[in-house]
């Protein structure tokens, strides 16, 4: 059984298309991973998630450790069985959400202590505990535990944080490797930090490469720095990471973010945007985002996007979706999420096809013309 | 094309099983109609509603006239097309919701004026306008416009209200009959009033029979009088209505309410209970209702009901549903609604089978033993 094998089928400029082979299935890259925070991709049945074309979903260590609890998920047979998703699951390390969601956190060399945003209960998270939780969940792709600092801080702060994350990466590696059977089936990704600084990013990449991982994530972006600064960082960051391993840009992003990142050599993405926006009434289309709350859609009998092949576009009018969203109906969230996740997968497939055909630059230019109007 | 034909295939005591033939499909009776208030059975795709076994759904005139508006639905091709449900739809008259949901209402012989619970805008509803709205929606079974008074008022109040409802029933009949093509395709049901009073119920039934309707509803029950008083009224009310027409008990009810009402000669039901309860974490099962919020389900790997054939029970554990409900996840509402609506349809099928086999009394006794523990 292949534990983890990444094959690059074609490159076009810095863009690559390939496949990751794992025990639970194949992941086509560039890949977009829908976020299944609390053991559910919000508003979607797992078979509907798969039908959008998703090969892998993401689960959140922070949320799952608090509710229902990692030990409980393990007793119930693991996350795949619990939520009825048989394909690969990537779990984050919990580090980012501890910083962004919890209260009363204290960060030391050992790890993080924090209070649950749900009930205020106190918890610890260390590299060792993060690896244990991800093993209890039965994760296929485990993320190293890191600190994700705000990008607008002094270089010294960013540097010290990155250096600690690299020590935590080594502890993550050691803890993961002692995980017995799970370590034989699952993959471990390291996470590059260093904010927008090329030198720090290089130091981080060197440290991670010395430890050795199955794949490498670019962390610390999409935290408010803006697309221009993100792209400037992506002009060098992917190239600092091993070329024969998948590169995963965490928490990104808008359709034009994905195109720009693939153009710069990124292979994997996750983001709550398509699902969260869908619940809020925003639809992504090939000609740009639509706000379904807008009264102009109230009697529009057309689909969200005439090019889209999703069940929502095959069946329902903008007028109906406008009505559902305005009325706060659950079905509105369901149908809009299904469309947006399907649109994202259609976008990834179009990118894979364009890279395979050696016409990614033209594809990206056409996309920007239609989507951004420029 | 059959506009409306009711055939009784078997009777067992007062219980009957049969079919209603209509242009858009067949309705097996006793029938339970899921409520699709605002052009959606909450949390369900229409194909999933159909897959539970539902032959017909209910739409609410009050909600739809306010949002998106009956004229708008008509411009968009009617309610069936708007919401992607091709089988029969019964629409209520709006009378009950005006009383229970709106503000500032004023009731005169002419009709009702009220303020929308959504935006406070003022509206009128009369028998003529109710028929017009139901025609604009494209309803298959149209309900006469009536007043539904509180059952705990003086007999004089109930009598005067019932008598006005009978005048409104005649105006509804006349307005419906002038509806052109729609009147040729759709059916019109009258609504018996008279609260718990046998004499008033008889007077109401006589008035309706004189006007003549395709079916007859029993209104003014399930408004807080309790099951004992409701059953006492159902001991005589169905028999006051024409035996060769369907009898529809509006707004009922719990599984044991349905059994007791079918036992007393009722053929059709609607109720928000299975869908609303599902969203709130209550599951109906053959051994009684379950509250999935209860911590005792947190590690229960069994299905909601081992006898249930719904997709939720085939796939998900009580532990997972407990988690979803506790976390407020949309998928919890989706899966619980799907189970409850399926359970209700399985209950109706079991009643139809028992009546057909002449063993309804035994079925009802077995059900009460398992469900109510008595």
- In angstroms, the CA B101 to CA B149 distance is 14
Q: How far is B347 from chain A (nearest CA, A)?
A: 25
Q: What pairing do the DSSP bridges indicate for beta strands A103-107 and A112-115?
A: antiparallel
Q: How many residues does chain B have?
A: 374
- Which pLDDT score is estimated for A78? 98
Instruction: Name the residues of A annotated as catalytic.
Output: 92, 270
User: What do you get for the CA distance between the two ends of chain A, in Å?
Assistant: 47
pLDDT at residue A171 greater than cutoff 70: yes
pLDDT at residue B1 greater than cutoff 60: no
Q: How large is the average pLDDT for residues B39-53?
A: 98
- Which pLDDT score is estimated for B276? 98
- Which pLDDT score is estimated for A138? 98
Choose from A331, A332, A335 for mutation: most chain B CBs within 10 A. A331
Instruction: Name the residues of B annotated as catalytic.
Output: 92, 270
- In angstroms, the CA A336 to CA B73 distance is 21
- In angstroms, the CA A367 to CA B81 distance is 33
Choose from A65, A67, A320, A338 for mutation: most chain B CBs within 10 A. A320
Chain A residues lying within 8 Å of B334, measured CB to CB: 43, 45, 330, 334
Q: What pairing do the DSSP bridges indicate for beta strands B89-91 and B57-59?
A: parallel
Q: How large is the average pLDDT for residues B309-313?
A: 98
Q: What pairing do the DSSP bridges indicate for beta strands B112-115 and B122-125?
A: antiparallel
- In angstroms, the CA B337 to CA B359 distance is 30
Nearest to A316 among B84, B324, B329 (CB): B84
Q: How large is the average pLDDT for residues A273-299?
A: 98
Q: Taking CA A96 as the corner, what is the angle to CA A90 and CA A98, rounded to the nearest 5 degrees?
A: 115
Instruction: Count CA atoms within 13 Å of residue B86 on its CB side.
Output: 3
Closest to B229 in 3D by CA, of B151, B149, B159: B151
Chain B residues lying within 8 Å of A77, measured CB to CB: 301
Q: Do B329 and A299 touch (CB under 8 A)?
A: no
Q: How large is the average pLDDT for residues A254-258?
A: 98
Domains in chain A, CATH or no CATH each: 4-270 (3.20.20.105), 272-374 (no CATH)
Judge whether B252 is closer than 8 Å to chain A, CB to CB: no
CA distances from A145 to A14, A92, A131, A255, B67 (A): 28, 8, 8, 28, 49
Q: Do B84 and A315 touch (CB under 8 A)?
A: yes
Q: How far is B243 from chain A (nearest CA, A)?
A: 39
Q: How large is the average pLDDT for residues B129-142?
A: 98
- Which pLDDT score is estimated for A102? 74
- In angstroms, the CA A275 to CA A255 distance is 13
Spell out the residues 6+ positions from residue A296 whose beta carbon is closer than 8 angstroms to its own: none
- In angstroms, the CA A28 to CA B1 distance is 53
- In angstroms, the CA B329 to CA A93 distance is 22
Q: What is the ipTM of this complex?
A: 0.97
Asked whether A308 and A346 are in contact (CB, 8 A), the reply is yes
Q: How far is B96 from chain A (nearest CA, A)?
A: 20
- Which pLDDT score is estimated for A64? 98
Judge whether B45 is closer than 8 Å to chain A, CB to CB: yes
Closest to A327 in 3D by CA, of B103, B68, B238, B136: B68
- Which pLDDT score is estimated for B151? 82
The residue assigned the tokens 């055939």 is B7
* A63-102 residues touching B, CB cutoff 8 A: 67-68, 72, 75-77, 82-84
- In angstroms, the CA B308 to CA B321 distance is 15
Q: Do B76 and A331 touch (CB under 8 A)?
A: no
Nearest to B38 among A42, A84, A327 (CB): A327
Spell out the residues 6+ positions from residue B88 whose beta carbon is closer than 8 angstroms to its own: B22, B24, B25, B27, B55, B56, B57, B140, B141
Asked whether A2 and A11 are in contact (CB, 8 A), the reply is no
Asked whether B149 and B157 are in contact (CB, 8 A), the reply is yes
* B344, two tokens: 């209700």
* B310, two tokens: 């719904």
Q: What are phi and psi of B250, to 5 degrees?
A: -80, 135
- Which pLDDT score is estimated for B108? 95
Asked whether A299 and B75 are in contact (CB, 8 A), the reply is yes
- Which pLDDT score is estimated for A186? 98
User: A–B: how many Cβ contacts below 8 A?
Assistant: 96
- Which pLDDT score is estimated for B150? 83
Nearest to A299 among B72, B279, B315 (CB): B72
Asked whether A318 and A303 are in contact (CB, 8 A), the reply is yes
Q: Do B67 and A326 touch (CB under 8 A)?
A: yes
Spell out the residues 6+ positions from residue B170 whose beta carbon is closer than 8 angstroms to its own: B211
- In angstroms, the CA B229 to CA A45 distance is 42
Judge whether A293 is closer than 8 Å to chain B, CB to CB: no
Q: How far is A66 from chain B (nearest CA, A)?
A: 11
Q: Do A330 and B45 touch (CB under 8 A)?
A: no
Find the radius of gyration of the CA atoms of chain B: 20
- Which pLDDT score is estimated for B104? 66
Asked whether A186 and A178 are in contact (CB, 8 A), the reply is no
Asked whether A223 and A184 are in contact (CB, 8 A), the reply is no
Q: How far is A187 from chain B (nearest CA, A)?
A: 26
DSSP per-residue string spanning A109-150: SS-EEEE-TTT--EEEE-HHHHHHHHHHHT-SEEEPP-----
Q: How large is the average pLDDT for residues B270-290?
A: 98
Provide the total of helices (H) and of strands (E) in chain B, helices listed first: 17, 16
Q: How many residues does chain A have?
A: 374
Chain B residues lying within 8 Å of A75, measured CB to CB: 299
Q: Do A82 and B319 touch (CB under 8 A)?
A: yes
**Bridge partner list, B207:** none
- Which pLDDT score is estimated for A1? 52
Q: How far is A142 from chain B (nearest CA, A)?
A: 23
* B103, two tokens: 């503000």
Phi-psi region of B62 (alpha: psi -120 to 50; beta: other; left: phi over 0): alpha
Q: Give the pLDDT band (50/70/90) at residue B2.
A: low
Q: How large is the average pLDDT for residues A71-91?
A: 98
- Which pLDDT score is estimated for A139? 98
Q: Which of A80-89, A147-156, A217-226, B217-226 has the lowest mean pLDDT?
A: A147-156
Q: Give the pLDDT band (50/70/90) at residue B159.
A: very high
Q: Give the pLDDT band (50/70/90) at residue A99.
A: confident
Chain A residues lying within 8 Å of B279, measured CB to CB: 330
Q: Give the pLDDT band (50/70/90) at residue B308.
A: very high
* B299-318 residues touching A, CB cutoff 8 A: 299, 301, 315-317
Choose from A47, A68, A101, A295 for mutation: most chain B CBs within 10 A. A68
- Which pLDDT score is estimated for A149? 85
- Which pLDDT score is estimated for A2? 67
Q: Give the pLDDT band (50/70/90) at residue B147.
A: very high
DSSP per-residue string spanning A151-183: TTS-HHHHHHHHHHHHHHHHHHHHHHHTSTHHH
Nearest to B331 among A40, A76, A317 (CB): A40
Mean pLDDT value across chain B: 96
| H-state helical runs in B264-359 | 273-279, 311-315, 318-326, 330-356
Q: Do A39 and B333 touch (CB under 8 A)?
A: no
Q: Taking CA B315 as the corner, what is the angle to CA B312 and CA B316, rounded to the nearest 5 degrees?
A: 70
Q: How far is A118 from chain B (nearest CA, A)?
A: 9
DSSP per-residue string spanning A49-96: HHHTT-S-EEE-HHHHHHTT-HHHHHHTT-HHHHHT--S-EEE--SHH
Q: How far is A232 from chain B (nearest CA, A)?
A: 38
Q: Do B45 and A334 touch (CB under 8 A)?
A: yes
- Peptide bond just before A68 cis, omega within 30 deg: yes
> Is residue B156 exposed (0-12), middle (13-18) or buried (19+ Cβ within 10 Å)?
exposed
Judge whether B351 is closer than 8 Å to chain A, CB to CB: no
Chain A residues lying within 8 Å of B74, measured CB to CB: none
Chain B residues lying within 8 Å of A317, measured CB to CB: 76, 82
- In angstroms, the CA B142 to CA B94 distance is 11
Chain B residues lying within 8 Å of A335, measured CB to CB: 45
- Which pLDDT score is estimated for A193? 97
User: Model confidence over A175-232: pLDDT tens digits?
Assistant: 999 999 999 999 999 999 999 999 999 999 999 999 999 999 999 999 999 999 999 9
- In angstroms, the CA B328 to CA A359 distance is 45
Q: Do A76 and B43 touch (CB under 8 A)?
A: no
User: In sequence order, what E strands does A240-311 have?
Assistant: 247-249, 268-271, 282-283, 290-291
Q: Do B324 and A40 touch (CB under 8 A)?
A: yes
Instruction: Count CA atoms within 13 Å of residue A181 on its CB side.
Output: 3
User: Model confidence over A322-345: pLDDT tens digits?
Assistant: 999 999 999 999 999 999 999 999
Find, in chain B, the residue whose alpha carbon is nearest to that of A338: B45
Q: Do B334 and A329 touch (CB under 8 A)?
A: no
- Which pLDDT score is estimated for B191? 98
């Amino acid at each position: 059984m292949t534990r983890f094998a990444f094959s690059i089928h074609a490159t076009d400029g810095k863009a690559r298309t390939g496949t990751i082979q794992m025990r639970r299935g194949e992941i086509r890259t560039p890949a977009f991973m829908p976020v299944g925070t609390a053991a559910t991709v919000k508003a979607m049945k797992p078979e509907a998630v798969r039908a959008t074309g998703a090969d892998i979903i993401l689960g959140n260590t922070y949320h799952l450790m608090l509710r229902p609890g990692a030990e409980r998920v393990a007793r119930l047979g693991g996350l795949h069985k619990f939520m009825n998703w048989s394909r690969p699951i990537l779990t984050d390390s919990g580090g980012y959400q501890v910083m962004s969601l919890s209260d009363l956190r204290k960060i030391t060399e050992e790890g993080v202590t924090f209070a649950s945003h749900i009930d205020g209960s106190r918890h610890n998270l260390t590299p060792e505990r993060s690896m244990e939780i991800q093993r209890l969940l039965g994760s296929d792709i485990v993320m190293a535990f890191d600190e994700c600092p705000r990008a607008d801080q002094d270089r010294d702060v960013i540097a010290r944080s990155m250096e600690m994350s690299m020590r935590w990466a080594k502890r993550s590696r050691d803890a993961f490797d002692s995980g017995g059977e799970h370590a034989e089936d699952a993959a471990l990704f390291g996470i590059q930090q260093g904010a927008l600084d090329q030198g720090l990013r290089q130091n981080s990449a060197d440290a991670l490469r010395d430890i050795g991982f199955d794949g490498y994530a670019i962390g610390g972006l999409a935290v408010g720095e803006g697309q221009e600064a993100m792209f400037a960082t992506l002009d060098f960051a992917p190239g600092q990471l091993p070329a024969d391993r998948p590169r995963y840009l965490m928490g990104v992003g808008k359709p034009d973010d994905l195109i720009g990142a693939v153009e710069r050599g990124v292979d994997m993405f996750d983001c709550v945007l398509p699902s969260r926006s869908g619940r809020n009434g925003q639809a992504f289309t090939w000609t740009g985002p639509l706000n379904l709350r807008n009264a102009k859609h109230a009697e529009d009998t057309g689909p969200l996007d005439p090019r889209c092949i999703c069940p929502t576009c095959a069946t329902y009018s903008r007028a109906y979706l406008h009505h559902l969203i305005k009325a706060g109906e659950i079905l509105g969230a369901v149908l809009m999420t299904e469309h947006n996740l399907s649109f994202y997968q259609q976008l990834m497939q179009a990118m894979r096809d364009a890279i395979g055909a050696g016409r990614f630059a033209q594809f990206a230019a056409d996309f920007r013309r239609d989507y951004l109007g420029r």
